[in-house]
């Protein structure tokens, strides 16, 4: 199966009360690991790509070709969406033209009128081509690829205005943060999430900053309409940790342990393991 838009998998998740994992990719190891975990879990999956990560991988077209090639080689059968994460207006259009099956246009840093106007444009451009769109209201705290969010909590009325533009999914700031959560973090504003869910109807909601949110809070958010959960930092942390252990154990100094296929293997396996764990937590196991 080739890439699919995120729309159908999100509607099903929302209806049946689970969430689809969105895992950010950085290179071939990340793509292989996440696809393997999804296939072995028989779960739909969303591969997220920030504009910075796409630049690192030498452009949107390369990302599309690499993901499609790896999917074909691995004989992936579960639904896979390739999704631009926190896209700019120009970036979202460029991704659609390059073959992404889903895009996020993050207009949360504009005032609400400009966010509405630009989101509307992207929805029109995307829908004409069968591509799904994620919009954002109220910025997510912390930094992601140079985009700094103050962590403001979304206004449910503004969420309704954006949700009504024809987007397939909506990200709303509810106290979630990119990166590691600080020790004095106050937790998700589930009260606000409930208001957003009530006012936007059946809109699949997106929870960014999925690393470090306690499991029970994640599960409660899913009951309040969250159908897509973004995980990025956690894969990076487990990859770095496993690689550190390999090198600290001097394994790169033994035999051909310096071979990148050996050196990167423990980190790659750590990503497979954490993605499987998240899929089970989000409830999308066997939902392909
Ligand atoms: Zn995000």
Pull the structure tokens for residue 87.
């896209």
Question: Tens place of pLDDT for every residue, the chain, 288 residues?
Answer: 799 999 999 999 999 999 999 999 999 999 999 999 999 999 999 999 999 999 999 999 999 999 999 999 999 999 999 999 999 999 999 999 999 999 999 999 899 999 999 999 999 999 999 999 999 998 787 766 655 555 688 999 999 999 999 999 999 999 999 988 888 888 999 999 999 999 999 999 999 998 889 999 999 999 999 999 999 999 999 999 999 999 999 999 999 999 999 999 999 999 999 999 999 999 999 999
Q: Is 85 a catalytic site residue? A: yes
For ligand 1, the distance from its centroid to the CA atom of residue 203, given in whole angstroms, is: 18
| From 85, 113, 191, 286, the catalytic residue | 85
Farthest CA pair distance, the chain? 62
Q: Could you tell me if 139 and 109 are in contact, meaning their C-beta atoms sit under 8 angstroms apart?
A: yes
Tokens in use for 277?
Answer: 């764990």
Q: At which residue do the structure tokens 């077209």 appear? A: 61
Write down the H helix ranges in 137-214.
Answer: 156-163, 190-200
CA distances from 244 to 55, 145, 257, 269 (A): 26, 23, 14, 14
The pLDDT assigned to 143 comes to 66
What's phi and psi for 150, nearest 5 deg? -80, -15
85 C-alpha to ligand 1 centroid (Å)? 7
Give the span between the Cα atoms of 204 and 131, in whole angstroms.
16
The rounded distance, in Å, linking the Cα atoms of 171 and 230 is 10
| Phi, psi for 42 (deg, rounded to 5) | 50, 50
Q: Ligand 1 centre from 251 Cα, in Å?
A: 35
Q: Which residue has the tokens 């342990």?
A: 257
State how far the Cα of 110 lies from the Cα of 222, in Å rounded to an integer.
28
Tokens 């954006």 locate to 162
Strand, helix or coil at 283?
coil
Which DSSP state fits 172? Answer: E
**Cα 16 to middle of ligand 1, angstroms:** 24
Q: Give the residue among 45, 43, 84, 11 at the shortest CA–CA distance from 229.
A: 45
Ligand 1 centre to CA of 199 (Å) is: 22
Ligand 1 centre from 143 Cα, in Å?
9
Domains of the chain: 7-234+271-282 (3.20.20.70)
What's the DSSP call for residue 141?
A: B
CA of 247 to the centre of ligand 1 (A): 31
Angle at 281 between CA 276 and CA 285, to 5 degrees: 60
Residue located via tokens 């994640």: 218
Task: Look at residue 66 in the predicted model and tell me its pLDDT.
Answer: 98
């Amino acid at each position: 199966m080739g890439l699919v838009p995120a729309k159908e998998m999100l509607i099903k998740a929302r209806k049946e009360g689970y969430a689809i994992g969105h895992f950010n990719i950085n290179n071939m190891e990340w793509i292989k690991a996440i696809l393997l975990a999804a296939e072995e879990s028989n779960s739909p999956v969303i591969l997220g790509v920030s504009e910075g990560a796409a630049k690192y991988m030498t452009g949107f077209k390369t990302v599309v070709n690499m993901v499609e090639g790896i999917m074909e080689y691995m004989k992936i059968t579960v639904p896979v969406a390739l999704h631009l994460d926190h896209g700019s207006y120009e970036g979202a259009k460029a991704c659609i033209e390059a073959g992404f099956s889903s895009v996020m246009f993050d207009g949360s840093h504009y005032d609400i009128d400009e966010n509405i106007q630009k989101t509307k444009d992207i929805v029109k451009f995307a829908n004409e081509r069968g591509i799904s769109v994620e919009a954002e209201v109220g910025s997510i705290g912390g930094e992601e690829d140079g985009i700094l969010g103050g962590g403001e909590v979304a206004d449910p009325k503004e969420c309704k205005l954006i949700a009504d533009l024809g987007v397939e999914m909506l990200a709303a700031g509810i106290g979630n943060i990119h990166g590691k959560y600080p020790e004095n973090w106050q937790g998700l504003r589930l009260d606000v999430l409930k208001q957003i869910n009530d006012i936007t109807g059946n809109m699949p909601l997106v929870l960014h900053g999925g690393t470090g949110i306690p499991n029970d809070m994640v599960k409660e958010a899913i009951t309040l309409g969250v159908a897509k959960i973004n995980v990025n930092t956690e894969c990076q942390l487990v990859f770095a940790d496993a690689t550190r252990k390999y090198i600290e154990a001097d394994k790169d100094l033994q035999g051909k342990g310096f071979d990148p296929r050996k050196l990167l293997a423990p980190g790659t396996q750590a990503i497979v393991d954490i993605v499987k764990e998240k899929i089970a937590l989000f409830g999308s196991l066997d939902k392909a």
